[in-house]
Amino acid sequence: MREMRDMIQVRTFFPVPVISQYTTYDNLDFGTVKGFSFEYELRRTGNTSLMANYTIQFAEGTGSDANSQRGLTSRGNLRTLFPLNFDERHRINLNFDYRFLSGNAYTGPEFMGAKILANTGINFQGIAVSGRPYTAQQTPLELSGAQTIGSLNGARKPWTLSVNLRVDKTFAVTKGLDVNVYCRVSNLLDRRNVLAVYPVTGSAEDDGFLASANGQDKLQTIQTSARLVDAYLASYQWRILNPGFFGGPRHIFIGSIVNF
């Protein structure tokens, strides 16, 4: 358990003579992070090793960052605890390694007496994380929303899953000099992990604006002003697919490490 106190948060002072009110920063916020984690480890048995880890966490506080209550402080700061932006309720890690050793410990295939897979290994890493919180909203606007539904950070983004792969082999060049050649693949399944969503729809690909009454009014206004509706719709679709809303695609890295 970790306790956080006196964190910076925006604050509005009122009433103030002449200027009515003013906004500044103060040491106001507090929060707690509570969690539990357990791990299973299979030390290398033959060619195999395995590690699995599960963590459950509750990160709650009065503000996620120094500006999280901006626009809400005209009647005082909120003192209610709610999930913080970085609250990951569930996290599962799995690491599996299968490796052929060298010398008398080698158990792999041989070709004309050569131990072709000596010092060769393959490693899989899987990471599954439950979605972080966000504040749902009711009225769609262009690329955003208005009118909060429920509580602050009361909704959740979808789970993310990433599987990474590494294959490597170590070659002994000379005495005291080894070269490890590897191929590493991140996001092996090329999964499109969602990192952020639009607050009205909860989707990363549709903000709900064009289908709403506000959106239809916008299209009507464009049409009556002799502007091209098709051009607006095309550019809107380009903008709405925000690459920052998604995790990275599959990446392949090939390299070597020299040990001496």
Domain ranges of the chain: 1-36+58-87, 132-260
Sign, Cα dihedral of 12, 13, 19, 20: positive
Which residues are within 8 A (CB) of 190 and not within 5 positions of it... i.e. 6 or more apart? 249, 250
Q: What is the model's pLDDT at position 22?
A: 83
- 91: confidence class by pLDDT, cuts 50, 70, 90: very high
DSSP state of 47: T
- Tell me the per-residue pLDDT of 10-38, one tens digit each, with 9 for 90 and over: 988 887 787 878 888 999 899 999 999 99
What backbone phi and psi angles, to 5 degrees, belong to 215?
Answer: -65, -40
What backbone phi and psi angles, to 5 degrees, belong to 218?
Answer: -65, -45
- R_g (Cα) of the chain, nearest Å: 27
Mean confidence (pLDDT) of the chain: 91
Q: Is the pLDDT of residue 73 over 80?
A: no
Q: What is the 3-state secondary structure (H, E, C) of 139-176?
A: EEECCEEEEECCCCCCEECCCEEEEEEEEEEEEEEECC
Q: What is the model's pLDDT at position 70?
A: 80
- Tell me the per-residue pLDDT of 99-117, one tens digit each, with 9 for 90 and over: 998 888 888 888 888 888 9
DSSP state of 151: S
Q: What is the model's pLDDT at position 15?
A: 79
Average pLDDT on 61-79 reads 82
| Amino acid residing at 101 | L
Q: Is the pLDDT of residue 156 over 80?
A: yes
